[in-house]
Amino acid sequence: MKKITRTTVAIATACFIGGVSLIAHTSYILPNVFSTSKGDRMTASSSFTEEFFVPDFKVESDDFHLILPSGERADYGRIAIFDQLTVLESALNEDGTYRFSTGDRLGRKFKMKFVDGAWDYVARGMGENPKSDVIPEGVMVADFQSQTVAIAYVTKGAPTQAALKQKGSGLEILPVTHPSEVYVGEPFEFVLTFNGKPMKGHEISVFRQGGKYEEPHYKLNLMSKNKGKISAVFEKPGVYVAMTRYQDKAPEGSETPYRSYTISLTFEVQR
């Protein structure tokens, strides 16, 4: 079988993104409010879905957490896990902006083969062709594990900046425009990074709650520019989610040599 290098994975990654639906089972986190002046408690729902924000199956994670307005990490006050939905609840004791997160969640492991210009799963029953287990000679094969994270920002009182600071590892969305100050007709600017480095020329997709009822269905595809910058302008108020995937080498000591990273950011566009 063909030797795997970072270059061949990078080339194949571009084909993977173009050849596999970006929305396929993506996790999200949806707060019951995005801003409040007096609220002392917040509840968020989280799920994997193929259609935002219709829950499909629960999110389980060893890394559930929130970032307080002070920038410190904290645990949720209560977590309830059902078959299709996970409910996260936290007190809002401080004024300022909170980041609610599923944390980095490692998922299933799988092999993929690169055939006829597209990736397909090797394991039986996981690809479009359930019997596609045969690996032709010379075909590139890679072991992957999924890593997903879903985030949302909630502000009590005036917006603050500490919770927006990123950790500098994995796939991240760094808001430039404060997520609690996104308005119709004004640009929402953010930066896409991987392991702390800006990603140029990477696609991110944006969906709107209720967008499936529009004709055509609402979907906005954006491409990161120099220094990973992305700018989006929205014509309607509502709840939106931005998501993207990226495949690369896994951190040293991981159980598989490669990972498929997915991130989603849920936010509100105000009038």
In a domain, 232, yes or no: no
Residue at 265 is within a domain: yes
- Give CA torsion, residues 77, 81, 86, 89, to 10 deg: -10
Whether residue 207 lies inside any domain: the answer is no
11 has pLDDT over 60: no
Residue 119 clears pLDDT 70, i.e. is over it? no
247-268 pLDDT tens trace = 888 999 999 988 989 999 999 9
Residue 118: per-residue pLDDT: 65
Q: Give the contacts of 146 (CB within 8 A, at least 6 positions apart).
A: 106, 107, 108, 110, 259, 260, 262
Is residue 263 one of the residues assigned to a domain? yes
Question: What pTM, to 2 d.p., does this model score?
Answer: 0.86
Count the domains in the chain.
Answer: 1
Which range of residues forms the domain containing residue 39?
A: 6-165+247-269
What is the CB neighbour count within 10 angstroms for residue 202?
A: 21
Whether residue 143 has pLDDT greater than 60: yes
- Picking from 130, 73, 134, 83, the residue whose alpha carbon sits closest to that of residue 104 is 73
Q: Is 215 contained in some domain?
A: no
Q: Is residue 212 part of a domain?
A: no
Residue 149 lies in a domain: yes
Residue 216 preceded by cis peptide, ω within 30: yes
Q: Answer whether residue 119 is part of any domain.
A: yes
For residue range 126-141, what is the model confidence (pLDDT) as tens digits? 444 544 567 778 888 8
Q: Which amino acid is at 217?
A: H
* pLDDT of amino acid 255: 93
Residue 32 to residue 263: CA distance in whole angstroms: 20
